[in-house]
Amino acid sequence: MFGSEKNKECPSCALEVAGDEEVCPYCGYEFPPEQKGLAVMAWIFLLLILLWLFTRL
């Protein structure tokens, strides 16, 4: 085992899965994306506000 590797527990089958896995190799559970999705949502929200401001001019 390497110290740099982070394992996470699958909430579906409760087995340990490598931290960089997006899908559980045992049961196929898809792990929800972390923070990346939030950043994208924030950018979309910002763009929508800018668009709304421009359309009001």
Residues of this chain that interact with Zn ion (CB under 5 A) are 10, 12-13, 24, 26-27, 29
Residue 24 · residue 12 · CB < 8 Å? yes
Q: How far is the CB of 26 from Zn ion (least distance, A)?
A: 5
CB of 34 to Zn ion, least distance (A): 17
Minimum CB distance to Zn ion, residue 43 (Å): 31
Are residues 17 and 24 in contact, defined by beta-carbon separation less than 8 angstroms? yes
Question: Whose Cβ is closer to Zn ion: residue 20's or residue 39's?
Answer: 20
